[in-house]
Amino acid sequence: MLKNNLKIAHFALLMSFLNFLFFHFPFYVFVFNNVDYTSLNGIAIIISVMILMLVANAFVFYLICCLPRNVGKFLLIIFFITNAIAVYFINTYGVIIDKTMIGNILNTNYAESSSFFSMKLLLYIILLGILPSIYIFKVKIIHVAWKKSAITSSLTLLFMLILILVNASNWLWIDKNSKKLGGLAMPWSYLVNTSLFYSDKYKSNEKEILLPDATIKDNQKSVVVLVIGESARSQNFSLYGYKKNTNPLLSKIPHLFHFDATSCATYTTAGVKCILEHTNTDKLYEILPNYLYRNNVDVIWRTSNWGEPPVHIKDYQNRDVLLPNCKGEGCDYDEVLLTGLKEQILASKKNKVLIILHTSTSHGPTYSTKYPSRFETFKPVCNSVELGKCSQTELINAYDNTIVYTDYILSQIIEDLKELNAYKSAMIFVSDHGESLGEKNLYMHGVPISIAPKEQYEIPFIVWTSDGSKQVKPNKILSQNHVFHSVLNFLNIQSPIYDEEMNIFK
């Protein structure tokens, strides 16, 4: 039985042990899988990391418990509940709580976050979060004199320093695996990476850097519809050689081209930013819609998603704006973005038009809810938010149906553009990132790009042009930054920052 009265040092050690027991299983699975535990050096790494984690956490918890007025208890309760949620996602989806995943989490809206709710998540919160929190709240911590506290803290620091020095030969292994180790260590994974995320965000969003002015070179009526896909990976498009026919409509359309491409990142905010930028950078340069709008192009943004950089245009339309004029079952899905699209283009008073449609079609975990029932081409499908509970066949079927629906949406856009006889028109579809569907026991996306599997960064880049308007170059592997320069070229807009090598059109 746990005691109700504990000296502060004993309480800190107990909290560290419970933290270790409840929340560090994924951490040590990674360590065991990446060292040779049959060798003396491997055993030394495992034992040293375990001891260091226990002592380091006890040291920090000890300092936290020294805070006045039960502030330490409150922080520990927050840690345990948040740890429970974090470990649920790590165990269920194979994610790593690093800086990029924090960005993903903080840019998730209610509709998306609520789709992750399950009884399993509730059990994690109750058993690993709330029950320990009740004990933390009730226990009486016996404090000691500050001199004894200082001696305890100093000796603990000295012990950790000695342990680190003894393991100097293993620093290279720790450095090599630091991203994954740091993303699995509770609660420091989300605490440290949240601070890093906001630090980077503050630096990048401090002020948008304006690009040099552009010039429209002709009066030819031209329109580009840029479709930003969500979590679409190229290997599940039959256009790219996938055995299942997920592109029954696009495969029959003339003047349609597809290119191998990679994303800049594996999460939405960075992926969308990269699609809209002229170059891949941590700085916040003026993005494509803002740049063209400022230079007298009619720009319309329609979205059922989120996570884009600040958009400074007049016509920003989300689902709520589009729904009143939408009819049919498609209004509950991404078809709502096509509502009155052709009419809005024709109503434009400018010769150059850019439409950006930011979809959410293939976002997990509830793939089967992302398309109308008539598009459930492949069966059976996974209906659970706990993807590991579904068979690989069910999971991939549900995901493939989202690609079939994407195929339909893109074909409808092309059909609308074909009817605009007075316009030279193009449709460009690029995904923000890819998606893992159980390969290597990973699900969804968000693994750091430096170690991400190809499923999370190999994306479709599909282009259609109206008859005779443009031919494409024999491009090899494209990046998301090709979008910016290709749109400038198609609309015949001259700019000092235009890069011909990043343009896909002849």
Q: Please provide the CATH number assigned to the domain covering 222-230+245-366+403-502.
A: 3.40.720.10
CB 212 within 8 A of CB 414: no
Q: Report, as an integer, the average pLDDT of 169-180.
A: 65
CB of 497 closer than 8 Å to CB of 485:
no
- Residue 13's H or E segment, with its range, is helix 8-23
pTM given for the model: 0.74
pLDDT at residue 168, rounded to an integer: 60
For residue 477, report the phi and psi dihedrals to the nearest 5 degrees: -100, 125
Q: With 90 as the cut, is the pLDDT of residue 155 above it?
A: no
- Considering only residues 496 and 91, tell me which one the structure prediction assigns the higher pLDDT: 496
Average pLDDT over residues 326-334: 90
Average the pLDDT over 444-463 and give the result: 91
What tens digit of pLDDT does each residue of 253-297 get? Answer: 999 999 999 999 998 989 999 999 999 988 889 999 999 999 999
Distances (CA, A) of 487 to 207, 222, 231, 341, 414: 25, 10, 22, 19, 17
Predicted pLDDT at 250: 97
Express each pLDDT in 97-131 by its tens digit: 877 777 777 766 666 666 777 888 889 899 999 99
Reported as a single tens digit per residue, the pLDDT across 336-369 is 999 999 999 999 999 999 999 999 999 988 899 9
The whole-number average pLDDT for the span 191-210 is 74
**Mean residue pLDDT across the chain:** 88
pLDDT category of residue 45 using cuts at 50, 70 and 90 = confident
For residue 352, the cross-strand partners are 222
Task: Provide CB contacts within 8 A for 313, sequence distance 6+.
Answer: 289, 290, 293, 299, 300, 301
Reported as a pLDDT band with limits 50, 70 and 90, residue 44 is confident
- Whether the per-residue pLDDT at 169 is higher than 60: the answer is no
- Torsional sign, CA 317, 319, 320, 323: positive
Q: pLDDT higher for 424 or 165?
A: 424
CB 475 within 8 A of CB 129: no
Helix (H, G, I), strand (E, B) or coil at 227: strand
Please determine, for residue 1, whether its predicted confidence score (pLDDT) is greater than 60: no
* pLDDT for residue 98: 76
Instruction: Give the model's confidence band at 239: pLDDT under 50 very low, under 70 low, under 90 confident, else very high.
Output: very high
H-state helical runs in 167-215: 171-176, 178-184, 188-204
The stretch 419-424 carries a mean pLDDT of 93
pLDDT for 241:
96
pLDDT band for 37, please (50, 70, 90 cuts). Answer: confident
Q: Which of 68-72, 169-173, 258-262, 377-381 has the lowest mean pLDDT?
A: 169-173
Residue with more model confidence, 445 or 435: 435
State the pLDDT at residue 366. 87
- Tell me: pLDDT of 410 over 60: yes
Q: Mark 52-80 as b/e (b = at least 16 C-beta within 10 Å).
A: ebbbbbbbbbbebbbeeeeebbebbbebb
Please say if the pLDDT value at position 411 is more than 90: yes
Of 17-21, 59-63, 111-115, 212-216, the least confident:
111-115
Query: Tokens standing for 475?
Result: 């491009």
User: Is residue 167 very low, low, confident or very high in pLDDT (cuts 50, 70, 90)?
Assistant: low
CA–chain centroid gap for 463, Å, is 24
Report whether pLDDT(386) > 60: yes
The predicted structure's pLDDT at residue 458 = 97
**Per-residue confidence (pLDDT) for residue 113, from 0 to 100:** 67
Alpha-helical regions (H) of 277-322: 288-294, 319-322
DSSP state of 309: P
Q: CA-based angle 23:29:32, to the nearest 5?
A: 140
Residues of the chain with CATH 3.40.720.10: 222-230+245-366+403-502
Residue whose C-alpha is closest to residue 348's, from 255, 428, 425: 425
Q: How many DSSP H helices and E strands does the chain contain?
A: 18, 14
pLDDT of residue 61: 87
- What number of residues does the chain have? 506
- Are 299 and 309 contacting, i.e. CB atoms less than 8 angstroms apart? no
